[in-house]
Amino acid sequence: HYMLNSTINEQLVNLAEVKGGDVVLEIGPGTGSLTNILVNVGAKVIAIEK
Protein backbone atom coordinates (compact mmCIF):
# COMPACT_ATOMS: atom_id res chain seq x y z
CA HIS A 1 0.00 0.00 0.00
CA TYR A 2 1.35 3.42 -0.94
CA MET A 3 0.69 4.90 2.51
CA LEU A 4 3.32 2.59 3.99
CA ASN A 5 5.96 4.07 1.70
CA SER A 6 7.83 6.68 3.75
CA THR A 7 9.17 8.41 0.63
CA ILE A 8 5.64 9.02 -0.66
CA ASN A 9 4.47 10.18 2.76
CA GLU A 10 7.39 12.63 2.98
CA GLN A 11 6.51 13.97 -0.47
CA LEU A 12 2.86 14.42 0.59
CA VAL A 13 3.90 16.40 3.65
CA ASN A 14 6.31 18.53 1.59
CA LEU A 15 3.75 19.20 -1.15
CA ALA A 16 1.16 20.17 1.47
CA GLU A 17 3.76 22.56 2.93
CA VAL A 18 3.13 21.33 6.47
CA LYS A 19 5.29 23.24 8.95
CA GLY A 20 6.00 23.17 12.65
CA GLY A 21 3.00 24.39 14.61
CA ASP A 22 0.48 23.53 11.89
CA VAL A 23 -2.56 21.58 13.09
CA VAL A 24 -3.40 18.56 10.94
CA LEU A 25 -6.58 16.50 11.24
CA GLU A 26 -5.76 12.98 10.08
CA ILE A 27 -8.72 10.69 9.45
CA GLY A 28 -7.83 6.99 9.60
CA PRO A 29 -4.15 7.11 10.59
CA GLY A 30 -3.84 3.32 10.44
CA THR A 31 -0.26 2.30 11.19
CA GLY A 32 0.78 5.90 11.82
CA SER A 33 3.30 6.06 9.00
CA LEU A 34 2.06 9.47 7.85
CA THR A 35 1.42 10.58 11.44
CA ASN A 36 5.07 10.03 12.36
CA ILE A 37 6.29 12.20 9.51
CA LEU A 38 3.82 14.95 10.40
CA VAL A 39 5.00 14.90 14.02
CA ASN A 40 8.65 14.91 12.92
CA VAL A 41 8.13 18.19 11.04
CA GLY A 42 6.56 19.66 14.17
CA ALA A 43 2.89 19.52 13.24
CA LYS A 44 0.25 19.07 15.90
CA VAL A 45 -1.73 16.04 14.77
CA ILE A 46 -5.30 15.18 15.69
CA ALA A 47 -5.78 11.59 14.53
CA ILE A 48 -9.18 9.88 14.42
CA GLU A 49 -9.36 6.12 13.97
CA LYS A 50 -12.59 4.18 13.93
Binding residues for S-adenosyl-L-methionine: 1, 3, 28, 49
The CA distance from 5 to 34, in Å, is 9
The CA distance from 43 to 47, in Å, is 12
Q: Contact, 45 vs 38, CB < 8 A? A: yes
Binding residues: 1, 3, 28, 49
